[in-house]
Amino acid sequence: MTSPRPLHRGRARSLLVVLVTALVATALGCGASEDRGSGRPTVVVTYPVLGAVVADVVGEAATVRVLMGNGVDPHDWSPSAKDIEQVRKADLVVTNGLGLETGLLDTLDDAGHDGVAVFAATDHLRVREGHDTDHRHAADGDEAAAQAADGDKTDGHATDGHAEGHTEGGDPHFWVDPVSMAAVVTALGEVLQADLGLDVGARVTAVLADLEALDREVRAEVDSLPPERRKLVTGHESLGYFADRYGFTLIGAVVPGTSSQAETSAAQLAALRDAVRAAGLEVVFTEIGTPAAVAATVARETGARLVDVPTLTLPDDGSYRSFIATLVATVVDALRG
């Protein structure tokens, strides 16, 4: 009896490669076909904090995909080919609307022209104007500030047209204010019903009730802080909505303006130093996107301590409620001293 002829090693290896490739392709295809087979539309959201709220509103009625990673600076983010493809295939894209996602603007324009529905959150709330925080009356010629400014420029925070555009179009950082977020939720519920046929009325009502309760909790937390201590210096002008809502005064920012990609100068940093001293501030807040060397210089020259404030990072549970609670506790505890 003749023994079965063994497979040639090269042929066996080729068959193995084909098999593995087929399995990978099947696995990837299953993810896409699962969404299509479920009959659920796909909602793509640009950044995680907004995505957390959209997911609360949508529930199981749609698949929610968030493009950016947690804690990524939207001002400095660029989409991958996969991100662009997700935007083009989405049933609805939820974005900020004031040029926050600079690297995605062309893709959003193209998707809109191709018929993809795009919901711009800031179209549905009272937009805060960005304020000039550069303290133009400061004296020029401060050598330490000039060195810090030079360090800022070499850290990749040069001004570009999109960054400057934030001030012209208004402040995009509405998500630090639960009341502004509530206005977005109301409008989003209407769009999900009208454009995608999703009945999310009950979920919208529940989310709005939670945001209203969250606003009350924030006010109670802030009320524990004496009014004279409610003064803020931030990495860039990212807490404007929070400050306006809860009675804080913005003294200045390490990077002036509403984009972390803006440029600062020796005069601006000298003025910020003087403003911190004049206000008697003990804390300078920094955040993702703030040039560390420049923030450290401001703190060292004023005797203030640096405190990181999570303006872009969701906590471990991924919820907007925890995000706001963490942000408020960080600010209030630091200012309380």
Given a cut of 60, is residue 208 above it in pLDDT? Answer: yes
**Of 242, 277, 238, 230, the residue nearest 254 (C-alpha):** 238
Q: Are 145 and 70 in contact (CB under 8 A)?
A: no
Measured distance CA(135)–CA(129) in Å, rounded = 17
Q: For residue 317, how many other CB atoms are within 10 A of its CB?
A: 9
186 and 119, same structural domain? yes
Handedness of CA 80, 162, 268, 248 (dihedral sign): negative
201 and 252, same structural domain? no
Give the tens place of pLDDT for each residue, 178-202.
Answer: 999 999 999 999 999 999 999 999 9
Q: Domain of 83: which CATH number?
A: 3.40.50.1980
pLDDT of amino acid 320: 98
**163 lies in some domain:** yes
- Structural domain count of the chain: 2
pLDDT of amino acid 236: 86
193 and 160, same structural domain? no
**1 lies in some domain:** no
Measured distance CA(321)–CA(153) in Å, rounded = 36
| Helix spans in 59-142 (H) | 81-89, 105-113
Question: pLDDT class for 27, splitting at 50, 70, 90?
Answer: very low
270 and 313, same structural domain? yes
76 and 193, same structural domain? yes
Q: For residue 158, how many other CB atoms are within 10 A of its CB?
A: 12
274 and 321, same structural domain? yes
pLDDT of amino acid 37: 52
**93 lies in some domain:** yes
46 and 185, same structural domain? yes
202 and 252, same structural domain? no
185 and 166, same structural domain? no
What does the chain come to in residues?
Answer: 337
pLDDT of amino acid 264: 66
**10 lies in some domain:** no
**8 lies in some domain:** no
Enclosing domain of residue 80:
39-127+178-207
Q: What is the average pLDDT across 59-67?
A: 98
pLDDT of amino acid 10: 43
Angle among Cα 193, 126, 335 to the nearest 5 degrees reads 115
74 and 150, same structural domain? no
